[in-house]
């Protein structure tokens, strides 16, 4: 016992920098940039308008920026991030399995820690949180931790197809009974909620904004979790396959597989997304004007996003296999993804909300996108500076401390 205990403890310690998978760090960094490009619009508009398509009334550059984000970014990078979260949880599970220890207590502490961070983020900082969704999906992932390797793709695909089928049924119902839905009074409720958001976020105090965040979380936020948690769970299952199969660690053994993702799955996702764009480039999902074309356009966007994210993953793996080093420049951001994600929300709300600089609704899409890129470049520089001195980002350090029930060494020796 005395001979094996140190080995097992070391195996379950926070992972050292030399052991990290550089591809995962690069992917996380790029995904973090995509998430910021997607989220910046929702820092300065109602959360009910998130993902509402391309506004044709904008100036040319704003329209182009809006179209680029909607087509190539919207929905694609939170799904990529979900794949990466699944890979991270699976990697921890594999390390625990190799150490011959019970992974469950460690896993539960990690997920509870993530849920706590997500709740603080959603209720006290910004309503667009995704961490609560990831934490709930991670709890559910326990049901599949002993699933055979060959079952993980069918599980992941089925869960995402179930959500697509549910949305398509909603689309059909909207086509058939659109007038009944329009007359049900939901439009007035949506408009009232949007007006409350604008009042609280654009002009309200921090206390008023926080009260609105709580109201949103227990209203539309809960409804959104019913859709996004199963999607995230499916993506977690697929991410688990990438780790357990060795496809992310030894991609050279899976060249044909990555070629299929790059040249078939990714383009299929783009084709589905383009079809949704042709059907309705500005889907209206609230108010009494919602129709079948709105629902179908948004449904196709939701269906195409995870396919495109798999294509993005394959493209980056292929680029790295061919010797390109530029993706690795995003690695420091990937190692501090949780810290930088929360930092984005703090900065975005302080810039646009009434209790900050109060720029709500005053910055159009092109400057939003440009500003997001500049801010991310500053974040990347900060991450490099920080990691030259410390082993972990500040939030990653706290999360590891809670997970492993002992304080990790923060300063580099």
Is the full-model pTM beyond 0.85? yes
Q: Say if residue 288's pLDDT is above 50.
A: no
Indicate if the pLDDT at residue 2 is higher than 70.
no
**Mean pLDDT computed over 350-368:** 96
pLDDT band at 203; cut points 50, 70, 90: very high
* pLDDT for 170: 64
Mean pLDDT computed over 251-273: 95
Q: What pLDDT shows up at residue 302?
A: 87
d(CA 162, CA 167): 9
> What pLDDT shows up at residue 1?
34
Question: In the prediction, which pLDDT does 13 show?
Answer: 47
Q: Say what the pLDDT of residue 99 is.
A: 74
Give the mean pLDDT of 373-384: 98
Q: What is the dihedral of CA 337, 340, 342, 344, to 10 degrees?
A: -130
* Confidence category of residue 297, pLDDT binned at 50, 70, 90: confident
pLDDT of residue 289: 52
- The whole-number pLDDT of residue 348 equals 97
The pLDDT value recorded for residue 188 is 74
DSSP state for residue 254 in the 8-state scheme: G
How many CA atoms are closer than 13 Å to the CA of 366, on its beta-carbon side?
7
13: left (phi over 0), alpha (psi -120 to 50) or beta: beta
Instruction: Note the pLDDT tens digit of each residue in 310-345.
Output: 999 999 999 998 888 999 999 999 999 999 999 999
**Residue 286 dihedral angles phi and psi, to the nearest 5°:** -135, 175
* 173, pLDDT greater than 70: no
Half-sphere exposure of 155 (CA within 13 A, CB side): 23
Alpha-carbon gap, residue 233 to 156, rounded angstroms = 7
Residue whose pair of structure tokens reads 């205990």 in the numeric block: 5
Q: What is the pLDDT of residues 67-121, one digit of tens each?
A: 999 999 999 999 999 999 888 888 877 777 777 777 888 889 999 999 999 999 9
Spacing of C-alpha 206 from chain mean position: 26
Mean pLDDT for all residues in the chain = 87
* Per-residue pLDDT at 284: 64
| Residue 323, burial from CB neighbour count under 10 angstroms (0-12, 13-18, 19+) | exposed
Structural element, H or E, at residue 224: helix 222-245
**Residue 36: pLDDT above 60?**
yes
* The predicted structure's pLDDT at residue 5: 39
Q: Average pLDDT of 371-386?
A: 98
Give the three-class secondary structure for 6. Answer: helix
Predicted pLDDT at 175: 58
Rounded to the nearest 5°, which phi and psi values hold at 411? -75, 140
Give the separation between CA 29 and CA 89, rounded to whole angstroms: 18
pLDDT at 291: 62
Residue 217 has pLDDT above 50, yes or no: yes
């Amino acid at each position: 016992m005395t001979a094996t205990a140190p080995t097992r403890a070391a195996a379950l310690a926070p992972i050292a920098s030399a052991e990290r998978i550089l591809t995962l760090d690069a992917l996380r960094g790029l995904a973090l940039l995509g998430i910021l490009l997607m989220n910046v619009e929702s820092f300065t508009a109602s959360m009910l308008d998130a993902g509402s398509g391309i506004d044709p009334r904008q100036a040319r550059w704003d329209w182009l920026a809006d179209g680029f984000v909607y087509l190539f970014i919207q929905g694609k990078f939170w799904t990529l991030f979900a794949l990466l979260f699944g890979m991270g949880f699976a990697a921890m599970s594999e390390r625990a399995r190799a150490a011959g220890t019970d992974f469950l207590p460690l896993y539960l502490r990690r997920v509870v820690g993530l849920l706590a961070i997500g709740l603080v983020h959603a209720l006290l900082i910004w309503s667009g949180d995704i961490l609560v969704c990831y934490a709930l999906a991670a709890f559910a992932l326990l049901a599949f931790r002993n699933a055979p390797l060959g079952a993980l793709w069918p599980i992941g695909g089925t869960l995402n197809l179930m959500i697509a089928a549910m949305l398509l049924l909603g689309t059909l119902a909207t086509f058939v009974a659109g007038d009944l839905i329009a007359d049900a009074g939901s439009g007035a409720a949506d408009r009232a909620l949007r007006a409350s958001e604008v009042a609280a976020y654009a002009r309200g105090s921090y206390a008023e904004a926080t009260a609105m965040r709580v109201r949103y979380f227990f209203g539309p936020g809960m409804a959104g979790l019913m859709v996004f948690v199963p999607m995230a769970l499916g993506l977690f299952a697929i991410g688990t396959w990438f780790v357990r199969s060795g496809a992310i660690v030894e991609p050279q053994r899976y060249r044909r597989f990555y070629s299929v993702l790059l040249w078939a799955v990714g383009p299929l996702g783009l084709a589905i997304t383009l079809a949704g764009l042709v059907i309705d480039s500005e889907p209206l999902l609230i108010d009494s004007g919602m129709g079948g074309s709105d629902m179908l356009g948004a449904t196709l966007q939701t269906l195409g996003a995870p396919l495109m994210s798999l294509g993005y993953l394959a493209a980056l793996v292929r680029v790295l296999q061919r010797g390109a080093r530029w993706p690795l420049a995003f690695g420091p951001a990937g190692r501090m993804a949780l810290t930088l994600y929360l930092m984005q929300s703090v900065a975005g709300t302080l810039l646009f909300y009434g209790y900050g600089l109060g720029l709500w609704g005053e910055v159009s899409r092109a400057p939003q996108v440009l500003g997001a890129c500049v801010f991310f470049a500053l974040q990347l520089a900060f991450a490099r500076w920080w990691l030259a001195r410390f082993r972990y980002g500040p939030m990653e350090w706290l999360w590891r401390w809670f997970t492993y029930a002992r304080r990790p060494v923060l300063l580099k020796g």
